[in-house]
Amino acid sequence: MQTQIPTQICRRFSCLALCGSVFITACSESKIAQPSAPQCDASTCNQALCSARFSGNSSDSLTLGDDCGALAVAADAGPVGAYLLSFHGSSTEIPSADVSIYLGAAPAAGMFSGQSVSSWSFTTTSSKNAGCEFVAGSSAVPTGNLTLTLSSLALSSADADGGGSAHGTLSATLYLHAPPNTDCGAGELEDATIVF
């Protein structure tokens, strides 16, 4: 007689022989569903598409421009021939937010960091003082942090200007850059999440 082990227990232990042969037999006969890849995490599930949310020095959100998620082929700035993913937006508290990420000549869906993309930059200005900027990127000091998840992308053919579109999420940590004795408000870090 074989004992049926609940499916959730089988999932948890991945059918390892931790409970003996009865456990293995029961797991092998159970249909274990593979978990689907998450489409968002706790910080982005309730965030609108083509929006940026900030926390840290400011607590604001903004709607990104009409080109949200558009890809372009770099011609002058950045690595020539690389696909460029960029975002632009503004709000009352954040007069400008600009993001540029060079994905290389043959980008694919997946997860990327600031070290695994060709180059990147993320800059925001603050309404608190014209001299206050929050900056991160491959040439910034400190570089800050970038996590980019491309859930899907479609590349256009190489004729005309190339390009395409991408969907996914981005999170970054930016550092304050300001002249000495400039009041930029509380905190020297800005955390940002973008859903596109």
CB burial class (10 A; 0-12, 13-18, 19+) of residue 103?
A: buried
Six-digit token string for 51: 């929006």
Six-digit token string for 35: 């978990």
- Which positions of the chain have pLDDT values less than 70? 1-46, 76-80, 157-162
pLDDT at 2 (0 to 100): 45
Give the residue from 56, 50, 45 showing the smallest Cα distance to 173.
Answer: 56
User: Which residue's entry shows tokens 């256009």?
Assistant: 156
pLDDT at 25 (0 to 100): 34
The one-letter amino acid at 83: Y
pLDDT at 82 (0 to 100): 85
pLDDT at 45 (0 to 100): 57
Q: What gap in Å lies between CA 158 and CA 81, rounded to an integer?
A: 10
pLDDT at 33 (0 to 100): 35
pLDDT at 129 (0 to 100): 86
Q: What gap in Å lies between CA 125 and CA 96, rounded to an integer?
A: 6
pLDDT at 143 (0 to 100): 97
φ, ψ for residue 62, nearest 5 deg: -145, 160
CB burial class (10 A; 0-12, 13-18, 19+) of residue 96?
A: middle
pTM over 0.75: no
φ, ψ for residue 25, nearest 5 deg: -60, -45
pLDDT at 62 (0 to 100): 93
Task: State in Å, rounded, how far the first CA of the chain is from the last one.
Answer: 53
CB burial class (10 A; 0-12, 13-18, 19+) of residue 102?
A: buried
Element (H, E) at 194: strand 189-195
Contact present, 83 and 74 (Cβ < 8 Å): yes
DSSP letter, residue 79:
S
pLDDT at 11 (0 to 100): 37
pLDDT at 36 (0 to 100): 34
pLDDT at 31 (0 to 100): 34
pLDDT at 103 (0 to 100): 92
